[in-house]
Chains A and B, each alone.
Chain A
Amino acid sequence: MSTPVVEAKDLKKTYMLGKIPVEALRGVNLRVDVGDFLAILGPSGSGKSTLLNLIGALDKPTSGKLLIEGTEVSALNDNHLTDIRRRIGFVFQFFNLIPRLTARDNVELSLSIANVGKAERRKRAEQLLETVGLKERMKHKPAELSGGQQQRVAIARALANDPRFLLMDEPTGNIDSKTAHEVIELIRNLNEQKGVTIIMVTHDQNLSREAKRVVEVFDGMISSDVVN
């Protein structure tokens, strides 16, 4: 069996809220394999966002083990964490596109950060935008695109550097239900046809039903892990 994409062992995270320590994660054990489509489900305050930040190498655990692609991240410095992040494709609830850049430039930005040359960058950005069905709109700025379109640009950007997995935070949380459906379709296609591993954090049970596997987080611990 190949190396798991993400492997967490007794993962704990405590942060300080003013002077009060808050135990956001109290010992999480999780394994995500290549090709998975995982939904992490939980109400707000359950610790799912903290888990997302850890899996995304945006933050470091207080204790426990966290391996991303077999690399233990808790001991890594800021610079190495950045290297890890380049292997992860982030999709945020609020799209987080750079407003002054066009759709194509937003996708290219991710590639330029990874030192990809101009010509190759452009070619790849255009291909990706075609994949997400936005070839016609690639010269538009985010403000000229609908919420669903913006999220598709964000997905194209997340895919730009051939990530080991996509990490999504409420990907449909900020778009209407009709376009949300299109986005879900796109995500499912990516997983089923292109074999992209997907980890999606949500509080929406309907959305979680689209995933192959649902992990419920409650009070800083995993309360259930079901394959749909």
Chain B
Amino acid sequence: MRTKDVFSYSFSAIKLRKLRAALTTLGVIIGIASIVALLSISQGLQTTITNQLEQGLAADTLLVSVSTGGAFGGGPGGGGGGGFGGGTGSSASSGFKLYINYTDEIKSLSQDVEASFAVIQQSGYIQNGDAIRQFNGGVTGVNFSEYAGIYSTTFLAESGTIPLSPQDDVVVIGARVHDPRLNGTRFADVNDNVTLIWTNATQLPFLNQTYSARVTAVLPRVGGFGIGGPSDSGVYIPISKAQSFFGTDEASSIIVKLKNSDNATIATVSKLITDHFANQVNVISATAVLSLLTTIFSTLTLFLGGIAAISLLVAGIGIMNIMIVSLIERTREIGILKALGMKSRAVLAIFLCESVIIGLIGALVGIALGWVLANTVAVLFSGGGPFGGGGGLSITPILTPEVLLLALGFGVGVSVIFALYPAWRASKLRPVDALRYE
């Protein structure tokens, strides 16, 4: 029997039981849609985070922060706030403190270090007129010119200007401090006089420190977490002012710029720094974080894919079940076909073909549905959506050709595998028995 004829015969059998075929296909659709949705969201998320990381933490940049010991010993110290190591140095269990003037020590460690500067970060409030808000980017003290040198694409003025040798009373604000809901409702704008408030909790009673500053620039929108670099919800003040305001010489982190970004240089300098501070600091490089991220995401992808695969497995069992019912119902038909001279392998092909049609339709509809689902979820969870976090993390779901082929192959593959047994049983029916079947 010709392939085309096998196909059209199988199709006529499916058409006869439309509802049943539709429900069977629905199983495949759900399985494939969940695979596609989960994988494309997770890949989109990975790309978003990777991009932000690459933006925030250039390949030739190291981030030195106090080792908190324990769980995060070797990894990134959490992505919260405006950067890694967002907490204060005083949280270190060992009592080790990273001081601002360590930058010189770090610079003298190796010829490969081009520059090194400190970042002081604390959480604080900012008041403009009657409005008072806390932003999760915190208040960060940096050397404006050095910071702009490293984050040249993100630490620049969208409006206003960033003074390279600033006076103490200037402040640079992130896009979400300027416009917290990104809808035009301004919190603060260039040339506004704002008050910065920091609660000094190192002594009793707690004391609110305040000072007045002028907004000199608004940063462009960076999006996402602002890992390592400027954050949309960050407030930036000159490092010297931060020292006096927060009353500390302690750095939250020290940023080290290297002359080369090759892995050997990164490894050597990282080791020199950790050794110099007797393993009491973490040195994070973009390369290390990226490889960790890749590991996390491949595990996550496997996990999500596994969950989705279970639903596909259930769909497969549904197919098998339906095929066995169909086989029993059509026993006599199989007998007729065999009496008319149809070969066993053609009977096998007809039954397999039915499942291929179901699998193919299920996979195609499932891919489309999964894609729609992924985009819906992405919109809902992006900055503007109802579930969007303050971070404004925007995910663009990515459907790679690999995932597309995987989904298609899985849909058809599972359908065929679960149809093998019923189809084989159909092909093995003896015509005498099948014809006698009522």
The interface of chain A, by Cβ under 8 A from chain B, is 53, 56, 58-59, 78-79, 82-83, 85-86, 90, 92, 96, 98, 100-101, 109-110, 112-115, 157, 161
The 5 closest A-B pairs by CB, nearest first: A86-B341, A112-B5, A85-B341, A58-B431, A59-B432
CB neighbours (8 Å) of A112 from chain B are 1-2, 5, 9
- B344-378 interface mask toward A, CB cutoff 8 Å, 1 = contact, 0 = none? 10100000000000000000000000000000000
Contact between B5 and A98, CB atoms less than 8 A apart: no
B342, A100: Cβ atoms under 8 Å?
no
Q: Which residue of A lies closest to B427 (CB)?
A: A78
Interface size class of B (residues with CB under 8 A): 20 to 34
B5→A114 contact, CB < 8 A = no
Residues of A within 8 A of B288 (CB): none
18 further A-B pairs in the complex, CB-CB below 8 A; given A96-B336, A100-B12? A58-B431, A58-B435, A59-B430, A59-B431, A82-B342, A85-B339, A85-B340, A85-B431, A90-B340, A96-B435, A100-B13, A100-B16, A101-B12, A112-B5, A113-B1, A113-B346, A115-B2, A161-B341
Contact check: which of B1, B337, B432 meets A58 at CB < 8 Å? B432
CA of A161 to CA of B342, assembled, Å: 13
Distance in Å from the Cβ of A107 to the closest Cβ of chain B?
A: 11
CB atoms of A53 and B341 under 8 A apart? no
Give A92 to B13 CA distance when docked, in angstroms: 22
Name the residue of chain B whose CB is nearest to the CB of A56.
Answer: B339
Query: In the complex, what residue of chain B is closest to A158 when comparing beta carbons?
Result: B340
A52 nearest in chain B by CB position: B432
B257: chain A residues at CB < 8 Å are none
Say yes or no: A110 contacts B340, CB within 8 Å: yes
Contact status A92-B346, CB under 8 Å: no
Among candidates B1, B13, B339, B344, residue contacting A115 with C-beta atoms closer than 8 Å = B1
Residues from chain B with a CB closer than 8 A to the CB of A101 are: 12
B343 located at the interface, meaning its Cβ lies under 8 Å from any Cβ of chain A in the complex: yes
Chain A residues, CB < 8 A from B1: 112-113, 115
Out of A96, A98, A113, name the residue touching B341 (CB < 8 Å). A113
Instruction: Give, as a whole number of angstroms, the nearest-CB distance from A60 to chain B.
Output: 10
**Contacting pair B344 A82 (CB below 8 A):** yes
